[in-house]
A and B are shown apart, each in its own frame.
Chain A
Amino acid sequence: ETGVTQTPRHLVMGMTNKKSLKCEQHLGHNAMYWYKQSAKKPLELMFVYNFKEQTENNSVPSRFSPECPNSSHLFLHLHTLQPEDSALYLCASSTPQTGVSYNEQFFGPGTRLTVL
């Protein structure tokens, strides 16, 4: 499989559940990102990992917990979510920015999350 894949594509969960979203990239990149896309809002950056180290946490509530075991895999662990957390969660990857050149991000298809 090529590109950036995300599983599951759809997820419905209750507020007391614990679930995880998975992202895998087959592009040889070393930077990975989680974004949240809500209706009528701009795409919001949540987390950034470079070479498995978290370099950005954009004031995300602790009920979202990222994990990056290696440069190809990224997880988002979810627990005690709220209905307003319902959104499309997008994963992206890139080669890390060097300060000299900028490399575009490649996105996965997203996981549509519904919190009941």
Chain B
Amino acid sequence: AQSVTQPDIHITVSEGASLELRCNYSYGATPYLFWYVQSPGQGLQLLLKYFSGDTLVQGIKGFEAEFKRSQSSFNLRKPSVHWSDAAEYFCAVGNRDDKIIFGKGTRLHILP
């Protein structure tokens, strides 16, 4: 069965520092992988996605993620965070029948 693990419930970084949010997945075939962001009181917004091809994926707002099949990971990175990046981040894995399985999320806090 598919599953997604985000091991960090909360992450705190200083503004301007680099960020890495971890995501591990379990899926039998090549997965479709996503990162979504949710600001307070809002729905989820897609940051980036991986379907195939280049394992380093660029997204919106300066985020990127790297698919590592050997580690079953799809970690999200940003070289320098801004206060507006404070939000909850969800990693998700999809299959070919309309279902997406979401992780429990990582809440990002930014220190001024």
Contact = CB atoms under 8 A, between A and B. Distances in A.
B44 interface: yes
Contact of B98 (A41, A55, A107, A110): A55
A61 B104 CA distance: 22
B41 A45 contact: no
Instruction: Identify whether the interface residues of B are mostly helix, strand, loop, or mixed.
Output: strand
Nearest to A40: B104
Nearest to A4: B43
Interface in A72-116: 90, 92, 94, 96-97, 99, 101-102, 104-110
Contacts of B104: 40-42
A45 B102 CA distance: 9
B69 to A, nearest CB: 17
Interface residues of A, number: 28
Contacts of B94: 102
A105 B34 CA distance: 10
A97 B98 CA distance: 6
B41 A56 contact: no
25 contacts: A4-B43, A6-B43, A42-B102, A42-B103, A42-B104, A42-B105, A43-B102, A45-B99, A48-B99, A50-B98, A55-B98, A90-B43, A90-B44, A92-B44, A97-B96, A97-B98, A99-B96, A102-B51, A102-B94, A104-B46, A107-B43, A107-B44, A107-B45, A109-B43, A110-B43
Interface of B: 4, 32, 34, 36, 41-46, 49, 51, 90, 94, 96-105
Counting from the closest, the 10 A-B pairs by CB-CB distance are A107-B43, A43-B102, A107-B44, A102-B32, A109-B43, A42-B104, A99-B96, A108-B43, A42-B102, A97-B98
